[in-house]
Amino acid sequence: MIRFPYEATRVVLLCAALMPVAAAAAQPASQYPNRPIRIVVPYSGGGTGDTLVRLLSVRLSESLKQPVLVDNRPGADGRIGTQYVANANPDGHTLLSILTTHVISGALMKLPYDPIRDFVPVAAVAVAELGMGVHPSVPASNLKEFIAWGRSLPQPLTYATTQIGGNQHLAGELFTLITGVKMSPIPYKGGGDAMAAVMGGHVNMYFGSMASMTPVFRSGKVRPIAVTGTARDPEFPNMQTFAEGGIPGLDIRLWYGMLMPAKAPRVAIDRVSRLLVETVALPEIRTAMARQGLNPMPMDAAQFGKFMRTELARYADIVKRADIRIEQ
């Protein structure tokens, strides 16, 4: 019988014990994904973004041959769910669904994470245009008339917003910066309350997603004035884009995308990015998105990363120029 020295035996046993650990560590890169994937939505369920994620998750699950779970973690205007993903294991099995406010928040307040450095972009998927609507008592049917009326008022006009520092608020602040029309934001708890305020005449106007504005525009309870984007809304061909109305710089839009924690494996980023871009191109997905008032905006990881950095700088500039401050 061959006898090994005690220390040599310890080394052999230690190496044998570590082999399964090493194999497990290599597994995510070589066999991704090897377990269910979780997409964290940092907002309550039922909204447009949540519906979009659930639509995409079905296709991802079919392609990746793993369950894709949608995990709603609302709170603190999205910061709770976002921080959860920032701290998650960066193995590619946890994603974060984001919208435009992800790159706005850092300009407004101190965050427990960095919106750029603590995440890696995966893909952009969709965008919703904002429609500007006014109460029927407002004596304006287009942007030119609205601006002239607003400038003539002795006091600021009012507009509803669901979040100080959110897209709607910044749309109003940017409108003031560009046109000189003085406006005061009136915050409400949610989109339903904000919409009720403009329909009831408690505020003069509202910037809302076209998905939410379309029914009230049709009913005549709110008058359509303008829409973001490069093309008129097909349901309201007489409503100008902001560019057509003389305000090309008012480009506040609700875009949606996916991130992973920083240091996620390249194989996971690239595979999910490719699948998301391919999924958004499917006719049936585009039809389903259109029913939610969304337009496809496919960008791969590199394109989305560049876009996010540009958007962060643009919104930081608006926040600075408008002197928006949020007390914490």
Per-residue pLDDT of the chain (328 residues; tens, 9 = 90+): 444 444 444 434 444 444 443 444 444 455 899 999 999 999 988 888 999 999 999 999 999 999 999 999 999 889 999 999 999 999 999 999 999 999 999 888 899 999 999 999 999 999 999 999 999 999 999 999 999 999 999 999 999 998 888 889 999 999 999 999 999 999 998 888 999 999 999 999 999 999 899 999 999 999 999 999 999 999 999 999 999 999 989 989 999 999 999 999 999 999 999 999 999 999 999 999 998 889 999 999 999 999 999 999 999 999 999 998 776 5
Per-residue model confidence (pLDDT) at position 24:
40
As annotated, the residues of the chain forming the CATH 3.40.190.10 domain(s) are: 130-241
pTM: 0.85
Identify the CA nearest to 78 among candidates 53, 106, 58, 55: 106
Per-residue model confidence (pLDDT) at position 29:
53
Residue type at 39 in one-letter notation: I
As annotated, the residues of the chain forming the CATH 3.40.190.150 domain(s) are: 35-127+254-322
> Alpha helix locations (H) across 31-100?
48-64, 79-86
Cα separation of 252 and 130, whole Å? Answer: 7
Cα separation of 297 and 133, whole Å? Answer: 24
Tokens of 200: 């009831």
User: Which overall architecture, per CATH, does domain 35-127+254-322 show?
Assistant: 3-Layer(aba) Sandwich (3.40)
- Phi and psi for 118 in degrees, rounded to 5? -85, 5
- Positive or negative: CA dihedral 314, 315, 321, 322: positive
5 prior amide bond cis, ω within 30: no
CATH of 130-241, one of 3.40.50.620, 1.20.120.1200, 1.10.10.410, 3.40.190.10: 3.40.190.10
Cα separation of 201 and 14, whole Å? Answer: 75
Cα separation of 26 and 191, whole Å? Answer: 46
Per-residue model confidence (pLDDT) at position 307:
97
Per-residue model confidence (pLDDT) at position 47:
85
Give the helix/strand (H/E) hosting 90: none
Alpha-carbon dihedral angle through residues 105, 106, 111, 112, given to the nearest 10 degrees: 110
Instruction: Tell me if 148 sits within 8 A of 277, measured CB to CB.
Output: no
